[in-house]
Structure 1
Amino acid sequence: MTKIGYARVSSREQNLERQFELLERAEVQKIFSDKLSGKDNNRPQLKEMLNYIREDDIIVVSELDRLGRNNKEITSIMNQIQDKEATLEILNLPSLNGIQDDNLRRLLNNLIIELFKYTAENERKQIRERQRQGIELAKEKGKYKGRPLAYSADSTDKQKRVTYEKIVEMLEKDVPITQISKELDVARNTIYRIRDES
C-alpha cells in the first residue's frame, strides 16, 4: 500500500506549496501535480498518477475539486481509482484512518464523497436559482439591462459603437441589408436586430 498525493492549481501563477504541505503532513510517499485548470482534460500528471496506482493504494487530495471542476469528471476519476481497487482520501472531509477493514473503508469513503458531491451540486443549483430569481425581480422593476450588446449605442467597444452608428445611418438611407453586411463585415442577423429595435 502506497499513499499517493495529487495537487493542482488552475494557473502557472498560483502556488502549490499549501497543498504540498498538507499532503506531506498526511504522510504521502509520492506526489503528482498539475498547474492547469480543472476544465482542462489534458492533465499529464493526473494521467500519470492514474496509471501509477495499484491495488490498496490511497490517493490523497487536499479538496475534492482538485480532481476536477464538475461531478461528471470527478466521478470518472473516482471510478478509475476504484477500478484499480485503490481508495481516495480527501483531507478536508472526515478521516477514515482508524478503520482497518479495507472493504468498509472503501464503502464509507465512497458514501462520504457521494454526499459531498450531492451537497456541492445542490449548492450550485441553489446559486443558479437565486440568480434567476434576482434577474426576474430586476426585470419586473425595469432595472435589468442584461449584458450590453456588442453592436449598440452603449457598447463598451468604441469601434463597434461606431459600426452601430454606421448601420443605423445606412438603414435610414434604405441601403439593402446584404450590402450593409458586406461593407461593414457584420452578420445580417445583427443588422436585422438593429433595424427592428430602431
Structure 2
Amino acid sequence: MKKIGYIRVSSQGQNTARQKKALKHAGCTVFYEEKISGATMERPQLKQMIEDLQPHDEVYVHEISRLSRSTKDLLEIIDQIKEKGAGLKSLSETWLDTTSDNPMNEFLLTIFSGLVQFERKTIKQRQKEGIEIAKSEGKFKGRKTKLVEGGKEEQRMKAIIEAYKAGKSINDIRTTFKVGTGTIYRLLDREGLR
C-alpha cells in the first residue's frame, strides 16, 4: 500500500509547495504534480496516477478542488480510483474518505461536490452581472488588446481602424495585419465602432 499525493495548481506561476508540504506531513511518499486547469480532464499526471494505482493504495489531495472543478468529473475520477481498488482522502474535507466502505461518505461527497460547483457558478454569475453594470455605465472596456499605443503598434492599430471604416471585412483585416479576430473586436469595441 502506497500513500500517493496528487497536487495541482491552475497555472505555471502558482506554487505547489504548500500542498506538497501538507501531503508529506500526511505520510505521502509518491507524488503526481501538474500545473493545469481543473476544468479539463486532459491532465497527464492525473491519468498516469490512476493508471499506476494498485489495490489498497490511498490517494491524498489537499482539497477536492485539486481533483476537479466539476461535480461530474470529480465523481468520475473517484469512480476510476475505486475501480483500481484504491481509496481517496482529502486533507481539507475530512469527511471525504473512500478508503472504507461507508455509504455516508458517498452521500456527503455528492452533496459537497455539488455545493463546490454551485459556488463556482454563482461567482461567475456575479462576475457577469458586474461586467454588465460596468458596461452600462461605460466603465468596462474588456480585456486590453495586444495592440498598444506608441510606435509601430499604434500605427498598426490606426491602420486596422481605417481599414474597418473603409469597409474591409474582419477576415481581410485579420489576414492583412496578422492579428487575431478577438483583438480586432476588442479594438473596435474600445473605439465604439461595433
For the criterion TM > 0.5, the same-fold answer is: yes
**Pair 1:23-2:23 in alignment:** yes
State the 1:120 CA deviation: 1.4
**Which structure 2 residues correspond to residues 54-133 of structure 1 after superposition, within 5 A?**
54-95=54-95, 102-104=100-102, 107-133=103-129
Q: Identify the residue that residue 131 of structure 2 maps to in structure 1.
A: 135
Determine helix, strand or coil for the equivalent of 1:143.
coil
Q: Identify the residue that residue 37 of structure 1 maps to in structure 2.
A: 36
Determine helix, strand or coil for the equivalent of 2:101.
helix
Q: Identify the residue that residue 51 of structure 2 maps to in structure 1.
A: 51
Determine helix, strand or coil for the equivalent of 1:114.
helix
Q: How far apart, CA to CA, are the structure 1 residues paired with 2:106 and 2:10? A: 26
> Is the 1:59–1:88 Cα contact (8 Å) retained in structure 2?
yes
Give percent identity, aligned residues only: 28
Task: Please tell me the residue identity of whatever aligns with 1:185.
Answer: T
Determine helix, strand or coil for the equivalent of 1:54.
coil
> Is the 1:67–1:74 Cα contact (8 Å) retained in structure 2?
yes
Q: How far apart, CA to CA, are the structure 2 residues paired with 1:20 and 1:149? A: 36
RMSD: 4.1
The CA deviation string for residues 124-150 of structure 1, in whole angstroms up to 9 with x for no partner, is 22122222333343455x335442786
The CA deviation string for residues 50-75 of structure 1, in whole angstroms up to 9 with x for no partner, is 12222333211111122234444433
Q: How far apart, CA to CA, are the structure 2 residues paired with 1:10 and 1:96? A: 22
Determine helix, strand or coil for the equivalent of 1:88.
strand
**Pair 1:185-2:176 in alignment:** yes
Determine helix, strand or coil for the equivalent of 1:103.
coil
Q: Identify the residue that residue 158 of structure 2 maps to in structure 1.
A: 162
> Is the 2:135–2:141 Cα contact (8 Å) retained in structure 1?
no
Unaligned runs of at least 5 residues, structure 1: none
**In 2 relative to 1, CA 47–86 (structure 1 residues): closer, same or farther, beyond 3 Å?**
same
Report how many residues are paired: 180
Determine helix, strand or coil for the equivalent of 1:137.
helix
**In 2 relative to 1, CA 18–185 (structure 1 residues): closer, same or farther, beyond 3 Å?**
same
State the 1:14 CA deviation: 4.2
Q: How far apart, CA to CA, are the structure 1 residues paired with 2:2 and 2:81? A: 13
TM-score by length of 1: 0.66
**In 2 relative to 1, CA 149–103 (structure 1 residues): closer, same or farther, beyond 3 Å?**
closer
Q: How far apart, CA to CA, are the structure 2 residues paired with 1:133 and 1:96? A: 34
**In 2 relative to 1, CA 13–131 (structure 1 residues): closer, same or farther, beyond 3 Å?**
closer
The CA deviation string for residues 166-188 of structure 1, in whole angstroms up to 9 with x for no partner, is 3267x3xxxx747xx48x8269x
**In 2 relative to 1, CA 168–36 (structure 1 residues): closer, same or farther, beyond 3 Å?**
closer
Task: Please tell me the residue identity of whatever aligns with 1:123.
Answer: E
State the 1:77 CA deviation: 1.8
